[in-house]
Homo-oligomer: A and B are copies of this chain.
Amino acid sequence: MLPKLAGVFVLAGFSLTLGAVATVSAASDEVPFPDGFRDWFAVNSMIVTKDSPLSAQIGGLHIVYVNAKGLPLLKTSGPFPYPDGTVFADDVHDFSVKDGSYVEGTKKAVTAMVKDSKKYAATGGWGFQVWAGGDPAKPLIPDTAHAIQACFVCHSPQQAQDYVFSTYIP
């Protein structure tokens, strides 16, 4: 089991990523790439450093986005669950540290959680995917079994808010 992180984030683990493992040609659970997510609502940001036990899985500077479908419920913090069609995307970048400031670098990965309560019933109604380098042609999670291991295990403790770490921070 991956270590748990108490926080406010959508965390889709990507221990399968970062070069060592070949990408899959087609994700069997068919989670679509979150096209245009940079124009969505920016929910929050976080940095996972090399000092974190999750560094290998999710190290980097994160900015989490939510699409218009999920935004109202995020802002009211419920009532859960999120409606089908909700998508959270996490834009993960490298970062550098200079004189005590952590500065955003190049894109490392994009992750997504897509809500479809029937299609993804085995993982809380969420489909999970990670794309290496944020490239839509490079999904890294081949099937539901891997999604459970790489993503859902960490999200499970968040069941009370529909498996989502992120909260709205005014």
Contacts and interface: CB of A to CB of B under 8 A. Distances in A.
Interface in A59-111: 61, 63, 65, 93, 98-107
Given A98-B7, A169-B93, A104 B50 contact: no
Given A42-B63, A45-B45, A47-B47, A104 B5 contact: no
Contacts of A98: 5-7
Copy number in this complex? 2
A49 B100 contact: yes
Tier of interface size on chain A? 35 or more
B45 A104 contact: yes
A55 interface: yes
Given A47-B47, A169-B93, A103 B41 contact: no
A169 B45 contact: no
Interface of A: 3, 5-9, 38-39, 41-42, 44-55, 61, 63, 65, 93, 98-107, 169-170
